[in-house]
Amino acid sequence: MKKATVTPTTNPLGGSLKAARDKSLSHRAAMIGALSQGRTEISGFSFCQDCLSTLNCLRAMGISFSLSPEEEKVIIESSGSLHEPENVIDAGNSGTTIRLLSGIAAGIEGLTVLTGDESLRNRPMRRIIEPLRLTGASIGSRAKDRFPPIFILGKNQLDSFSYQLKVASAQVKSSLIFAALRGNGPSFIEEPFPSRDHTENMLRYLGVEITKSKGRLKVTPPRELRARDFNLPGDISSAAFLLAAAILVEGSRVVVEDVGLNPTRCGFLEALREMGAKVTVGKVREDFGELRGEVEASYSKLRGIELGPDKIPAIIDEIPILSLLATQAEGKTTIWGAEELRVKESDRLRAIACGFSQLGAQVEEKKDGLIIQGGSPLKGGRVKSFNDHRIAMSLVIAGLISQKEVTVEGVDCIEISYPQFFDHLQQFGCPTIKVDFEK
Ligand code: S3P
């Protein structure tokens, strides 16, 4: 296992760089390319570990790829049909892989069994199992349908269905949309609050009829899916760490270029503005229904805010780094209705409260959220990543503004979503981070 030792910096961060490519969109582009007939060229594919897990699973289901990591390119030639894998397939650490592929597997004749690493094997699966059963596929998982491994005995043609999600989850919604593509008629999906809509945008771009009325999606199965190329933007969830670093380190100003700005993912930018951060967006354009542009952030004085359940889906992955900003804001930040954070790569409410408190911040863990009293200087110390990439990166950024050194144990997991993280910090002029093997 590797650790990162971060020395506090007085050097302002500065410069401009192209954001790491979007993980959420990369998973979907690979899956949609596999499901469509013909050649799909994906530019701007994220070669992070989670997306490699998706490629490995699709390969086991009969899809071949030509990969060019240096050019961030993936080319898929597919007949549009996947086949039963010969063995159990491994989604690694990736919730998106296991849940979305389960929806796809429901529409494949034969047995698919998916598993993952220790963290993934403890993440809830009933949320997809219950609705996917409505399609007529047989599906179940370990511990009375709670956890992976998960099996799916699929069929070529599924029943159409109507389902109201209990939690706002793009992973569950997308899994159901993929199953709905193989339905014998239109299916209907409703969620309590809007979650990210990448799957909808990408499938519409391929001509699939997906409409939304009064919060309810209607997915009409297409007669065929013809392949189209995708050029993917950068990942706001990764860029968030760089923007936060600039906001926290005095005198900084950075620009992160070509970041995805889909409104269902931009809760972090909205929260920053509400906290009084200097953040601006420019060069906005649209591609396959997805907005993208550059984001500039500068050192700012912040104030505490309140984030409730309606705001959580659009900022779900940025709560760890937002919590760090809240520790330095004036006043209190209250986050509630966020129990979903307990079932991410780690129990993130616990990990945030534990990690930042150990560094000297005032963070109180609640059943469904956090109360953060801003304005306490971070002292420094030795903390654990909980093997969670977003916790690890948030703690590293905390080290930049602590009074003494911060050591973060278990930073290997950063490869899950953002392999360029340390390089990007260095490009912005942060030479104070040492990464080495733990003794
Ligand atoms: C994701 C959706 C979110 C997010 C995850 C990626 C996706 O999960 O936390 O990192 O790609 O659909 P939920 O929508 O299940 O909360």
Task: From residue 248, give the alpha-carbon distance in Å to each of 56, 118, 273, 322.
Answer: 38, 34, 14, 11
Question: Which ligand 1 atom sits nearest the alpha carbon of residue 170?
Answer: 14
CA 258–ligand 1 middle distance (angstroms): 21
Measured CA to CA, the distance from residue 27 to residue 427 in angstroms comes to: 27
Instruction: Give the binding-site residues of ligand 1, using a 6 Å CB cut-off.
Output: 24, 96, 169-171, 174, 195-196, 316-317, 340
Measured CA to CA, the distance from residue 73 to residue 157 in angstroms comes to: 32
End-of-domain residue from the set 175, 210, 228: 228
Tell whether 9 and 88 lie within a shared domain. no
| Identity of residue 372 | I
Measured CA to CA, the distance from residue 277 to residue 279 in angstroms comes to: 6
Q: Tally Cβ neighbours within 10 Å of residue 105.
A: 30
Nearest to 238 by CA among 47, 41, 33: 47
Tell whether 283 and 181 lie within a shared domain. no
Q: In testing the pocket of ligand 1, which one of 21, 22, 23, 24 has its CB within 8 Å of the most ligand atoms?
A: 24
Tell whether 249 and 378 lie within a shared domain. yes
Residue of the nearest CA to atom 10 in ligand 1? 317
CA 296–ligand 1 middle distance (angstroms): 25
**What is the tally of structural domains in the chain?**
2
| pTM for this entry | 0.98
CA 45–ligand 1 middle distance (angstroms): 18
Confidence at residue 439, expressed as pLDDT on a 0 to 100 scale: 72
Q: How far is CA 49 from the centre of its chain?
A: 12
Residue of the nearest CA to atom 13 in ligand 1? 169
- Order of strands across the sheet that contains 38-43: 64-68, 73-78, 38-43, 230-231
Q: Please tell me which residue in 90, 258, 317, 347 is annotated as part of the active site.
A: 317
Tell whether 284 and 194 lie within a shared domain. no
Question: Which ligand 1 atom sits nearest the alpha carbon of residue 23?
Answer: 11
Residue of the nearest CA to atom 11 in ligand 1? 24
The answer for residues whose C-beta is within 8 angstroms of residue 46's C-beta and 6 or more apart is 20, 21, 22, 23, 25, 26, 72, 232, 235, 417
Confidence at residue 229, expressed as pLDDT on a 0 to 100 scale: 98
The answer for residues whose C-beta is within 8 angstroms of residue 423's C-beta and 6 or more apart is none
Confidence at residue 438, expressed as pLDDT on a 0 to 100 scale: 84
Domain coverage including residue 222: 23-228
Task: From residue 231, give the alpha-carbon distance in Å to each of 161, 192, 208, 330.
Answer: 32, 31, 19, 40
Q: What share of the chain is helix, strand, coil (3-state, %, to 5)?
A: 35, 30, 35
Measured CA to CA, the distance from residue 7 to residue 434 in angstroms comes to: 9
163: domain CATH number?
3.65.10.10
Nearest to 144 by CA among 155, 130, 132, 154: 130
Question: Which ligand 1 atom sits nearest the alpha carbon of residue 313?
Answer: 16
End-of-domain residue from the set 228, 247, 268: 228
Measured CA to CA, the distance from residue 235 to residue 421 in angstroms comes to: 12
Q: In testing the pocket of ligand 1, which one of 196, 343, 345 has its CB within 8 Å of the most ligand atoms?
A: 196
Q: In testing the pocket of ligand 1, which one of 96, 193, 416 has its CB within 8 Å of the most ligand atoms?
A: 96
**What burial class does residue 67 get, using C-beta atoms within 10 Å of its C-beta: 0-12 exposed, 13-18 middle, 19+ buried?**
middle
Measured CA to CA, the distance from residue 43 to residue 68 in angstroms comes to: 10
Beta bridge partner(s), residue 75? 41, 66
Tell whether 212 and 82 lie within a shared domain. yes
End-of-domain residue from the set 228, 248, 264: 228
CA 169–ligand 1 middle distance (angstroms): 6
Tell whether 209 and 259 lie within a shared domain. no
Q: What is the dihedral of CA 346, 46, 169, 344, to 10 degrees?
A: 0
CA 235–ligand 1 middle distance (angstroms): 13
Tell whether 11 and 78 lie within a shared domain. no
Tell whether 146 and 278 lie within a shared domain. no
Confidence at residue 431, expressed as pLDDT on a 0 to 100 scale: 77
Tell whether 181 and 81 lie within a shared domain. yes
Q: What is the β-pairing status of strands 162-164 and 230-231? A: unpaired
CA 343–ligand 1 middle distance (angstroms): 11
Tell whether 270 and 166 lie within a shared domain. no
CA 24–ligand 1 middle distance (angstroms): 8
For residue 310, indicate whether it is catalytic: no
Tell whether 242 and 210 lie within a shared domain. no
Quick one: tokens of 363?
A: 């963070």
The low-confidence residues of the chain, meaning pLDDT below 70, are: none
Tell whether 313 and 190 lie within a shared domain. no
Question: Which ligand 1 atom sits nearest the alpha carbon of residue 24?
Answer: 11
Residue linked to tokens 């998106």: 96
Q: In testing the pocket of ligand 1, which one of 100, 316, 418 has its CB within 8 Å of the most ligand atoms?
A: 316
Residue of the nearest CA to atom 16 in ligand 1? 169
